[in-house]
Chain A
Amino acid sequence: MNRIFNNPDFIVEDAVRGYLKAHPDILAATDNPRVLRRPAAPQKDKVGIVTGGGSGHEPAFLGYVGNGMLDAVAIGEIFSSPSAKAFHDAFIAADGGRGVACLYGNYAGDNMNVKLAAKQAAKHGLTVKTVVANDDVPSASKDDRSKRRGVAGEILMWKVGGARAEEGADLDEVIASAQKAIDATRSIGIGLSACTIPAVGKPNFHIEDGHMEVGIGHHGEPGVAVMPVKPAREMADLMLDHILPDLPFEKDDDVAILVSGLGATPVMELYVLYDRLAEVIEARGMKTRHLFIGNYFTSLEMQGVTLTMMRLDSELDRLLAAPAHSIGLTRV
């Protein structure tokens, strides 16, 4: 395992310290070492935007704290939900007096810890409302959408929620926009190699050399098919075949596209994939209004890629275009 760490049990603590030293203009510490905030948070009279999740997905989650994005973030161990206390302290750090929107992904641990934290917050009069992202199409059937996991679509949900809060919307309006965002968003991943949690020391799943796993989750959760690695064009078609009919995305739709590497895939290859994605999307009569390509939501050193698409209406289009400044995403 050729990786960069000191004591693997404290890799998250060490990384958070590095982030704080590197970006004092964007990130500030709180009394809880597992909670970071915008330096300006809590911002009076603005709905607070909070998320949280396990580490190992950088720049998610802490990299999306910033102006026009998240106010505070709760940080967990690698691939493990932050504690209820961390979520609760993030709510406090983000609360400017108009309530807090907790926009997070659908995982068992996060669901429990957010529920406990929101209950705790309610005890001292802080209202927390939630939107649970479930954009990962292969993780459950369409009839069972509530069981789907949240993946890179969360970033677009945070962007929309963050921009809406910045406009001065109230908590219910922010929640409605974030819910609309995730309801209009679909994702799929393809895994090309496994990943290793440093403290564990070996991968907890396996992808045979020369094979790819279609529909893989952000922690190596199994996908819907394992097959020999296809040329990029066929990979792109396969991904679109899964997500386009699910919403469905149709002719004349305005869309946002996010292509994220899973950590160890060369960025160049994301553009190889995008070449075909763009060709098909244009041929289908859709118009790409917002495009993000890079390592936006990773899974340690997994090789592979996720594709996320959002169908836009004028509101979502406006909110995605609004200014934002965070480590992972900046719009001017």
Chain B
Amino acid sequence: MLSSISIKDSGGLVVELIDVIRENRAWLSKIDGAIGDGDHGINMSKGFTLAGGKLGEPIPPLPDALNILSETLIEDLGGSMGPLYGYLFSSMADELEGQEKLDGDVFGKMLHAALEGVQEIGSANVGDKTLLDTLSPASEAFDEAWRSGKGFAECLEVMSLAAEKGRDATIDMVAKVGRASRLGERSRGVLDAGATSCCLILQTLAKGIRQRMGA
């Protein structure tokens, strides 16, 4: 089993992200329907599909593919998710600059950058029932596992579980930002749609990297 993957050859990870969002279009919209407009899956799927059309053949290297996804979301998606996910993916791509291999060190930095990118453009804090509640614990769990000397593949597993736990923790949160925050206490009891799509994204990245390492 490898401990890293080639950045140049793994642009396909972005294709997998696009596929997973498209496959979950209806589910994400259904979750959003409980406390939002019910269009999270519809709009995300539209934006990600547009990005898929821009990737071209052969699939460009990972940072380029992430930047194409980011630019498409910022330029074409709009809403809150366009800028938030746009910054998330471009911040990840920035950390790949000058690297040849994506290993545990680089991936940890990508998660940190993603977290900072989202916080720079958005106004949410951890606990506000947003995608940060998936991303932040996932990043922390990855760091801790990596520091404790676990292999990259195992750290990705740990991160995936933490992302899921983070996502599920949003059920008991009250939304503090965005349209759902207008519901106050009534926003408690259901998943946050952004936290759910963020979990899909992190788990798809983890799965794709593990497969490429032969894990």
Contact = CB atoms under 8 A, between A and B. Distances in A.
B24 to A, nearest CB: 15
Contacts, number: 91
Interface in A231-282: none
Given A76-B79, A115-B121, 8 more contacts: A81-B79, A85-B76, A197-B37, A200-B39, A200-B42, A202-B33, A204-B38, A222-B186
A157 interface: no
B108 interface: no
Contact of A9 (B46, B79, B121, B123): B46
Interface residues on B, range: 20 to 34
Contact of A78 (B39, B74, B86): B39
B182 A139 contact: yes
B75 A199 contact: no
A197 B78 contact: no
B151 interface: no
B82 interface: yes
Interface in A72-103: 76-86
B36 interface: yes
B79 to A, nearest CB: 4
A197 B36 CA distance: 12
B33 A76 contact: no
Main secondary structure of the interface of B (DSSP, over half): helix
Contact of B177 (A83, A85, A108, A221): A108
Given A84-B74, A85-B76, A199-B39, A219 B179 contact: yes
B75 A85 contact: yes
B80 A77 contact: no
Contacts of A116: 74, 83, 121
Interface string A109-125: 10111011000000000
A113 B82 contact: yes
Interface of A: 9, 54, 76-86, 107-109, 111-113, 115-116, 139, 197, 199-200, 202, 204, 217, 219, 221-222
A82 B43 CA distance: 12
Contact of B37 (A80, A85, A139): A80
Contact of B38 (A77, A111, A200): A200
B182 A80 contact: no
A72 to B, nearest CB: 16
Contact of B182 (A79, A199, A200, A222): A222
A76 B37 CA distance: 14
Contacts of B38: 197, 200, 202, 204
B43 A77 contact: yes
B42 A199 contact: yes
Nearest to A223: B182
B80 A200 contact: no
Interface in B18-47: 29, 33, 36-39, 42-43, 46
